[in-house]
Chains A and B, each alone.
Chain A
Amino acid sequence: MGWLKINGTDFNLEVGTYSLEEFKKEFKHSFCLGKTDSEIEKVYAQLRAVAVPAPLKNISNELHTGNKEKAVTVKGKGDSTGKGSFIGKLGGSS
């Protein structure tokens, strides 16, 4: 799925799909040691943002392009830096 390094720890992005409680349990004896809940939640949020992208319909809505009544085909590809590349076109009848 990919990897994301935050504050010296290289995380498997799969843990970004865990719930916060599962995440805390996973790293109870490593990353979470000595950290406050807010510090942990901040890192978890970063991982989740990369691992669980926003719903596709929001992309079309935000860009105000394409025909919202038609299905949108999007191909995305993430990388280990957390940045995603976007390939494809957004709906539209043009």
Chain B
Amino acid sequence: MALQLCGSIGANTGGIKCAASPGKINSIAIWGGKLTVAEQLTLATRKTSLVADSKLSKLLSDKLFLLPLFLGKESKKESNQEQTLSNGLKFVTREGLPGWRFSFKTSMGQMKNLRKFNNTILNVIMQDDQKRVWGSKDSNDALIGRQAQLFFEGLDHIGDDGVEGLGFVNVAFIDAIENYDDAAFVEVDFNFQTTLAALLDVQLFEKAVAVANVLHPSGKVDVANLPVPMDIYEEYKTTLFSTAALWKATNLQTGAAITVTGIAPGAGGVAYADLTLNAAAITALNTGDKVLVETVLPTALDAAGVVGIETVGFIYTKP
């Protein structure tokens, strides 16, 4: 019997039949949040937490950004670093880091937004083809994302053998411990792509010149078609553009709120709303004074039936 202290550094090595191993990655989400032990308890609590984070404003740390469904998956795992002895024997001296190149269907407008994440270190979680959600774990056994650097390749014109709208993203993980030693997963009963929200950025704008204290807002989404952005007015006419509680106005000179006194779809079939701000407050402004007009954050929009968007406000300037 050889003397050993292996138990002090290792663990028992028994295997368990049918225990999970990582499957093929279908989806990735950028996520700064965590799934605490309490939130992991049931399928329902996991779903609720992840869905809620996907509906947060992009300005919040816990926001979950869902990336498009991956079609092709190519491993770009880094080779292990090895030391070769004089007799040819090789030892692994540093483990290669995992990496991937995924393909997905996209558009120019979406790719422009995705590329804004390029070259920064982000936390990501993955859903595999068994609906398991893979990440890492923190010291409190919460599920967290793994650190990775993403690079979305620019969407280009295609050759005769090309597929239109096929985008690629390179994902390079930077920590072997997160990926191998602290790897963890939770099972969920939903598909990321059909259940989590991937919001659209909507730029609010004045579609027609304001009359006195009545502004005429609509909203548009950049689809890379310069003269024809996607106007969302008709889609949200009876929700966002009919609910005054979803709107806010702020006097940028003083920081004071200006009361929104009413909103309604514009009369006569026009494609903008009539947003009425407090007349006295608007009258009191000097020429050139600015008012920020915006909506509430996407979680509140979603609760009011305005789903799938986050808005960027516009500035009204007193003529």
Residues in chain A within 8 A of chain B (CB atoms): 3, 5, 8-12, 14-15, 25-31, 33-34, 80
Residues on A with C-beta less than 8 A from B264 are 8-10, 30-31
CB distance from A80 to the nearest CB of B (A): 8
Which A-chain residue is minimally distant from B242 (CB atoms)? A10
B263 and A9: CB pair below 8 A?
yes
Are B213 and A29 in contact, CB atoms less than 8 angstroms apart?
yes
Q: List the B side residues contacting A9 at CB < 8 Å.
A: 262-264
Known: A9-B264, A10-B243, A10-B263. 12 other contacts (CB 8 A): A3-B244, A8-B265, A12-B260, A26-B213, A26-B276, A26-B278, A27-B262, A28-B279, A29-B211, A29-B276, A30-B214, A30-B274
A26 touches B242 (CB 8 A): no
Question: B212 touching A11 by the CB < 8 A rule?
Answer: no
> A31 to B278, alpha carbons, bound, how many Å?
13
Q: B245 an interface residue at 8 Å Cβ cutoff?
A: yes
A27 to B267, CA, bound (A): 13
Q: Is the CB of B242 within 8 A of A12?
A: no
Query: Looking across the interface, which residue of chain B has its beta carbon closest to that of A25?
Result: B279
Decide yes or no whether B259 CB sits under 8 A from chain A: yes
Q: Which residues of chain B (245-275) have a CB below 8 Å from chain A?
A: 245, 259-265, 267, 274
Which residue of B245, B259, B262, B278 is within 8 Å of A30 (Cβ)? B262
How many angstroms from the CA of A30 to the CA of B212 in the assembled complex? Answer: 10
For the complex, what is the distance from the CA of A86 to the CA of B265, rounded to whole Å?
Answer: 34
Task: Find chain A residues with CB under 8 A from B259 CB.
Answer: 12, 14
* Total count of chain B residues near the partner, CB < 8 A: 20
A15 to B261, CA, bound (A): 7
CA distance A78 to B258 in the complex (A): 23
- Partner of A10 from B212, B213, B262, B279 at Cβ < 8 Å: B262
Q: A3-B244, A27-B276, A30-B276 are in contact. Are A12 and B211 (CB under 8 A)?
A: no
Cα(A10)–Cα(B276), bound, Å: 10
Residues of A within 8 A of B244 (CB): 3, 10-12
Give bound CA distance, A34 to B262, whole Å: 17
**Which residue of chain B lies nearest to A11 when distances are taken between CB atoms in the complex?**
B262
Question: A10, A12, A25: which has the most chain B beta carbons within 10 Å?
Answer: A10
Among B213, B259, B264, max chain A CB count under 10 A is at: B264
CB of B214 within 8 A of CB of A29, answer yes
Docked CA distance A34–B268 (Å): 11
Contact B214 A8 (CB under 8 A): no
A16 to chain B, nearest CB (A): 10
B203-238: which have CB < 8 Å to A? 211-214
Supposing A14-B261, A26-B213 touch, asked if A34 and B278 sit within 8 A by C-beta, the answer is: no
Given that A25-B279, A27-B276, A29-B213 are known contacts, is A8 also in contact with B242, CB under 8 Å in the complex?
yes
Chain A residues near B212 (CB-CB < 8 A): 28-29
Given the interface pairs A12-B260, A26-B213, the reply to whether A31 lies near B276 with Cβ below 8 Å is yes
The residues of A that contact B261 with a CB separation of less than 8 Å are 11-12, 14-15, 26-27
In the complex, A11→B243 CA distance in Å? 9
Give the Cβ gap from B206 to chain A, nearest Cβ, in Å: 14
Q: Give the docked Cα–Cα distance between A30 and B263 (Å).
A: 9
Q: Which residues of A contact B242 (CB under 8 A)?
A: 5, 8, 10
- When distances are taken between beta carbons in the complex, the residues of chain A under 8 Å from B213 are 26, 29
On chain B, the residues within 8 Å of A15 by CB distance are 261-262
What residues on B are CB-neighbors of A34 within 8 Å?
A: 267
Known: A9-B262, A12-B262. A33 touches B279 (CB 8 A): no
Residue of B nearest to A26 (CB): B279
